[in-house]
């Protein structure tokens, strides 16, 4: 699974990144809120770990912007003991959990596992369409080259491949790909469609996703 870690304390950031990587996660590290936001606007993740107190943009600001943009990726907040009001604000703003510093690494791993535990409603096998291959178990999309996908991108692309040549409405995708996430919206679907379009292009795939925000989408061979 792909995780984003945003923590401005360099030693802690590196230690947590090393721990999570050792546990098999693919970790992108950011050292301030603005850098975290840039990553989030250009890629998708299966889980996000945000320190509340960061330079340039706080974790709460990043969280609020995420939710306002329809991104429902689970978020774990890292907080200091004194930040009680911020913890409450963060949970109200859509955080899934919080962990108070200093924390035990074992507890961090348990919180991350809980945060990213999702209904495994995708096939673990390979699927093909046009000149692309989707390897769900490896979270990989391959054509002229290979790129990593998030779990939600895999689920969305599987739905499109299974129904290639057929229009799938935004409501259908919300009901089937985001059925366990009641806060997901049409903007969420559009965001992930945009992610997939970019990745299909980056691997040189002949497959294209047609459709507009809030409407229906169809996977075709260009």
Helices of type H across 95-150: 105-116
Where along the chain do its domains lie?
A: 2-116, 126-221
Q: What is the pLDDT of residues 64-108, one digit of tens each?
A: 988 887 677 889 999 886 666 777 788 777 788 888 888 999 999
Q: What is the pLDDT of residues 128-150, one digit of tens each?
A: 999 999 988 778 899 999 988 88
Query: Is the pLDDT reported for residue 8 higher than 80?
Result: yes
Superfamily of domain 2-116: Response regulator (3.40.50.2300)
| pTM, 2 dp | 0.64
What are the backbone dihedrals phi and psi of residue 135, each rounded to the nearest 5 degrees, phi first?
Answer: -105, 95
Model confidence at 172, in pLDDT bands (50, 70, 90)? confident
The reply to whether domains 2-116 and 126-221 share a CATH topology is no
Q: Are 207 and 222 in contact (CB under 8 A)?
A: yes
Residue 12 in tokens: 């802690």
Percent of the chain with pLDDT over 70: 94
N- to C-terminal Cα distance for the chain? 30
Selected residue with higher pLDDT from 72 and 120 = 72
CATH 1.10.10.10 fits 126-221, yes or no: yes
- Residues facing residue 141 across a β-bridge: 134, 147
């Amino acid at each position: 699974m792909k995780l984003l870690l945003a923590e401005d304390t360099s030693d802690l950031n590196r230690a947590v990144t090393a721990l999570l990587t050792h546990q098999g996660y693919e970790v992108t590290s950011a050292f301030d809120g603005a850098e975290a936001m840039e990553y989030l606007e250009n890629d998708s993740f299966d889980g996000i770990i945000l320190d509340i107190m960061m330079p340039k943009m706080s974790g709460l600001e990043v969280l609020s912007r995420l939710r306002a943009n329809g991104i429902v990726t689970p978020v774990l907040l890292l907080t200091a003991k004194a930040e009680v009001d911020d913890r409450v604000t963060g949970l109200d703003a859509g955080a899934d959990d919080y962990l108070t510093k200093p924390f035990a690494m074992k507890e961090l791993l348990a919180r991350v596992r809980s945060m990213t535990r999702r209904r495994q409603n995708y096939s673990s096998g390979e699927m093909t369409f046009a000149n692309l291959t989707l390897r769900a178990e490896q979270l990989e999309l391959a054509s002229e080259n290979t790129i990593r996908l998030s779990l939600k991108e895999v689920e969305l692309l599987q739905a499109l491949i299974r129904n290639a040549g057929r229009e799938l409405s935004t409501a259908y995708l919300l009901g089937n790909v985001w059925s366990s996430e009641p806060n997901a919206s049409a903007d969420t679907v559009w965001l992930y469609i945009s992610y997939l379009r970019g990745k299909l292009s980056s691997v040189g795939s002949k497959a294209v996703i047609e459709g507009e925000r809030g409407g229906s989408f169809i996977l075709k061979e260009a």
